[in-house]
């Protein structure tokens, strides 16, 4: 075979492969980040459940324990394998980030300031579109809440109409760096994805499936997490 023919065949194969690659990228499913918020209280089986969820593929855990002593957070973190601690973001006691080699820190109304000379992952809480615009650039991602009526906080209703969320998505205020928090559950997580949020933060829809006052196992909780992950894909 002549060099000219070989080159022509090579060029055709390269062109076909390039077209296929472009098509595959354009049609690849967008996987939404699934973030779990911890309960605000500690309980005996907590580390077992968290480790099981990490085993199932939980990508990020936000450890939020307001008005608790740091020693209890320290104890919980010692019960979580080091490889999983790198998936944990803390809302309180920011020194835990370096001491336990965690993923990062989360800013909120209780802790609105970065530690001096801090370098690393940052997220923060937002409750309006203006706050998202102000903080998104400086953060790895932000929480916007409450998107739906809260499951875990009685009487804490959504701040947003669906039409408003669609407009914020059109304006690119809602994008891959904005995570939806508040009332997110299996019945509406697809809507969260369709609106263009980069992720969903789960709280009540997971933790309401386990009672600290009973002796039941946490199989139902794990099975529900699997369903949530599937919907986020």
Q: In terms of domains, do 70 and 19 share one?
A: no
What confidence tens digit (pLDDT) does each residue in 114-146 have? Answer: 999 999 999 999 999 999 999 999 999 999 999
Domain that residue 46 falls in: 32-232
Mean pLDDT of the residues in the chain: 89
Q: What is the 3-state secondary structure (H, E, C) of the chain?
A: CCHHHHHHHHHHHHHHHHHHHHHHHHCCCCCCEEEEECCCCCCCCHHHHHHHHHHCCCCEEEECCCCCCHHHHHHHHHCCCHHHHCCEEECCCCHHHHHCCCCEEEECCCCCCCCCCCCCEEEEEECCHHHHHHHHHHCCEEEECCCCCCCCCCCCCCCCCHHHHHHHHHCCCCCCCEEEECCCCCCCHHHHHHCCCCEEEECHHHHCCCCCCCCCCCHHHHHHHHHHHHHHC
Please check whether residues 82 and 100 belong to one and the same domain.
yes
| pTM (2 d.p.) | 0.85
- Residue 166: which pLDDT band, with cuts at 50, 70 and 90? very high
Residues 89 and 17 in one domain: no
CATH for 69: 3.20.20.70
Copy the structure tokens of residue 79: 């019960």
What is the domain count for the chain?
2
Same domain, 68 and 173: yes
Q: Are residues 20 and 37 in the same domain?
A: no
Q: Are residues 49 and 8 in the same domain?
A: no
CA distance 127 to 19: 43
Q: pLDDT tens digits for 2-54?
A: 555 555 544 545 444 544 444 333 434 678 999 999 999 999 999 999 999 99
- Inter-residue contact 152 to 203 (CB < 8 Å): yes
In the structure, what pLDDT confidence band is assigned to residue 159 with cuts at 50, 70 and 90? confident
93 and 3, same domain (yes or no) = no
Same-domain check for residues 46 and 4: no
Residues 22 and 42 grouped into a single domain: no
**Whether residue 78 sits in one domain with residue 19:** no
**Are 105 and 64 in the same domain?**
yes
């Amino acid at each position: 075979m002549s060099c000219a023919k070989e080159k022509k065949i090579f060029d055709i194969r390269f062109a076909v492969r390039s077209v296929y690659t472009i098509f595959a990228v354009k049609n690849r499913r967008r996987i939404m980040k699934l973030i779990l918020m911890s309960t605000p209280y500690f309980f005996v089986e907590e580390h077992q459940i968290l480790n099981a969820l990490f085993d199932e593929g939980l990508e990020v855990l936000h450890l939020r324990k307001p008005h608790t002593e740091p020693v209890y957070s320290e104890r919980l973190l010692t019960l979580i394998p080091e490889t999983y601690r790198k998936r944990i973001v803390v809302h309180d006691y920011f020194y835990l980030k370096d001491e336990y080699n965690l993923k990062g820190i989360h800013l909120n109304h209780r802790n609105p300031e970065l530690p001096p000379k801090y370098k690393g992952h940052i997220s923060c809480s937002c409750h309006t579109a203006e706050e998202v615009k102000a903080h998104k650039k400086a953060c790895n991602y932000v929480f916007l809440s409450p998107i739906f009526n809260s499951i875990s906080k009685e009487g804490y209703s959504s701040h947003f109409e669906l039409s408003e969320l669609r407009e914020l998505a059109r304006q690119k205020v809602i994008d891959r760096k904005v995570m939806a928090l508040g009332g997110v559950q299996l019945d509406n997580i697809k809507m969260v994805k369709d609106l263009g949020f980069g992720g969903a933060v789960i709280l009540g829809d997971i933790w309401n499936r386990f009672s600290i006052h009973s002796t039941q196992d946490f199989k139902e909780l794990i099975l529900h997490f699997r369903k949530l992950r599937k919907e986020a894909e």
